[in-house]
A and B are shown apart, each in its own frame.
Chain A
Amino acid sequence: MAQVQNRLRPFFENITFDRDDNELVLNFGPQHPSAHGQLRLMLHLQQEQIVKAHPDVGYLHRGMEKMAENMIYNEFMPTTDRMDYIASSSNNYGFALAVEKLIGLEVPRRAKVIRMLLLEINRLMSHLFWLATTALDIGAMTVFLFAFREREYLMDIIEGYCGARLTHAAIRIGGVPLDIQDSFLHQLRVFLNKLPQNIKDYEDLLDSNRIWLMRMEEVGVIPTEMALSWGCTGPMLRASGVAWDIRKEEPYELYDEVEFNVPYSDKGDNFARYRIYMEEMRESAKILYQCIDMYDECVKNGETELMAHAPKYISAPKLDIMTQNYSLMQHFVLVTQGMRPPVGEVYVATESPKGELGYYINSQGGPYPYRLKLRAPSFWHTGILTDLLPGHYIPDVVSIIGTTNIVFGEVDR
């Protein structure tokens, strides 16, 4: 084959890097290791101070909304894994809940408990990952190793449940596909019993660490108005003084039956966000303990149902499919043609580890959603960098990107 000359050139030929007014344009990314993915930032600098920031995203755009319009509802479930791949069950869950609300399904209690177990494990995984990578960006290698060790335990538990470590696809529309394995609760208990000491270890390393405090305190302050205006949710909003947690305010599943607190801070800086992540891990552990009890109760009461009973939308249990002709026919139609939810639209928000994860579904009664809009929290947490970065210095960029906890699978979708 003839050799073809490669004409790949950088895309910023039209930008003058040294300008007359002594302003320097710095191109940060898209392959910067601390950008947590494919984030490109155009930074206009006066000396080391940023005067203008222009985040550029889209390097991981896969067109999920378009894909959803061309897939039956159950087919789309594994695609949602690829949004926030740090905590993929929470994406699965948001989609399943949206479709269930559209259809008007009630999920069996045991499935709800299993879902909550998965969701909170995912939250812990995500927060541990956040702590590890952010600490590594700041230079704290030890915390990175510690937090990844703990995350590994959780991934083992999840792997035992669904066979996957990152892209779980562990939740189905109408329930969960499987009961938890025998070792699940034991392993989880062992992990949870160690967790308080682990969190204390991280805090001992970081809380009074001079470098950590200098990089975190009074850096990246987001005022409440700015956070609200930019659509910030989750820890980003709670660190800016609004105690808004969808699990508490608009409870789904059994979150109204468990007791937990919503940590919030009115500081709005990086350190406040760090503290909130740490506290949320403790609250998640609290919820998990209660979920374990709830699960034991389900077993005691003999509640074995894992999927909702709705023959029009959900396949019958495997036993029925194998023994009853009508169930087999239903299953065949649902797999080959897909379920057809009623005509209407729904917007359902859930509290993912990053913030408000919303699914807007417009159904026209067909097996494919007519329009599906994914509201990913990280999208706006990246957008806010436009207003947040000016005034800060170059090293602050790294710590601010770290504490915003953005995941680019979710930003670009």
Chain B
Amino acid sequence: MRAYKPKDDLQAKAYYTDRYYVAPQVPKSAVEDDEIFAADLEAIKAKFEVKEAYIQVEQMVIYINAHDIYGVLELMRDELEYTQLSEMSAIDWLAKDDTFEIFYQMLSMTKRKRIRVKYFIKNGQAVDSVEKLFRSADWSEREMFDMFGIEANGHPFMKRILMPYDWQGYPLRKSYPLQGDEFAAWYEVDKIYGKEARDIIGPEIRDTATVDRYDSERFARLGFEVPKGTKITGNEERNPQEYQEEGGVFLIKKYTKESSKVIDDPQR
């Protein structure tokens, strides 16, 4: 019987894990350990609900409610001096509990501190755009939409950014295969030559490591290459791949090791 492969997570998996292996944790510390973070957390807690907060690898992580995000970031920007949104994106937890985790990486240059604001949304739910607060969210939210299919409410131009506008599927979801799906394999053929050319051209080979070892025309005929379509008899003439022509080329000297000069010192 073939091994069952879950359809909602097609990414590479460890092929062997020790039965008794317990993964260690990156240590977390309490927010109270850091004065600045503790003060920031107090300020946020005064107005919004904070579900969880801790410090991990020198940065504070806080979990909030999805509908509070605009307010929290506004508070952080205007009152807590977190003036830059370095990065934002999503994490796919669809296979686990049908949710996405969204994170916003904030930077305060005056305090030299970084906070990661996070929340969960259900699959199909949209997030509130923070593009009005940070222009950088304009492109980040578009990228998130492009890669995960999460829309941002109130975004001025919610279109794909890295993939073509007419692309189907969301590449960074765990359910999307690494080499692309059926649509991806036909996309360029359909676009350039039309659907009717599918039979002639065939699907795009999207696995870059593919080697067809039964392809005797193009593979493993080094030095005996023949034009495509030629019938192979086994008595092909040798077709040597010379780096330089034997008779020499007009004005170009043939390279020999003896006549060449080696420069030892590249600085000259």
A residues near B, CB below 8 A? 1-2, 4-8, 57-58, 61, 63, 65-67, 69-71, 101-102, 104, 153, 156-157, 187, 190-191, 226, 228-231, 233, 242, 244, 249-250, 337-338, 340-349, 356, 358, 360, 362-368, 370-371, 373, 375, 379-380, 383-384, 386-387, 412-413
Contacts and interface: CB of A to CB of B under 8 A. Distances in A.
Contacts of A347: 57, 59, 86-87, 105, 114, 116
A102 B27 CA distance: 10
Contact of A1 (B13, B91, B163, B200): B200
B12 A342 contact: no
B12 A58 contact: no
B84 to A, nearest CB: 5
28 contacts: A1-B229, A4-B197, A5-B193, A57-B162, A61-B163, A66-B172, A70-B11, A102-B57, A104-B26, A228-B84, A229-B134, A230-B136, A249-B112, A337-B14, A342-B25, A344-B25, A344-B57, A345-B56, A345-B57, A348-B57, A349-B86, A356-B86, A360-B87, A364-B23, A365-B24, A375-B86, A375-B87, A375-B105
Interface of B: 11-17, 21, 23-28, 56-57, 59, 61, 83-87, 89, 91-92, 103, 105, 107, 109, 112, 114, 116, 134-136, 138-139, 147, 160-164, 171-172, 174, 176, 178, 191-194, 197, 200-201, 229, 266-267
Contact of B109 (A65, A244, A375): A244
A284 to B, nearest CB: 18
A338 B201 CA distance: 39
Nearest to B176: A66
Contacts of A6: 192-193
A375 to B, nearest CB: 4
Given A187-B267, A366-B13, A366-B14, A7 B194 contact: yes
Contact of B23 (A58, A101, A340): A340
B138 A383 contact: yes
Contact of B136 (A7, A58, A231): A231
A272 to B, nearest CB: 19
A334 to B, nearest CB: 13
Contact of B16 (A65, A337, A342): A337
Give the one of B112, B114, B138, B147 with max A CB within 10 A.
Answer: B138
A71 B243 CA distance: 37
A344 B109 contact: no
A412 B86 contact: no
B23 A365 contact: yes
A69 to B, nearest CB: 5
A379 B12 contact: no
Given A69-B12, A347-B116, A101 B178 contact: no
A187 B266 contact: yes
A66 B11 CA distance: 9
Given A4-B201, A7-B193, A371-B92, A343 B25 contact: yes
B178 A66 contact: yes
A383 B139 contact: yes
Given A66-B176, A230-B136, A347-B114, 8 more contacts: A6-B192, A153-B267, A187-B267, A230-B135, A342-B24, A346-B56, A347-B116, A383-B139
B26 A342 contact: yes
A72 to B, nearest CB: 9
A311 B83 CA distance: 41
A70 B12 contact: yes
A8 B147 CA distance: 26
B26 A69 contact: no
Contacts of B147: 65
A373 B91 CA distance: 9
A346 B12 contact: no
A384 B23 CA distance: 42
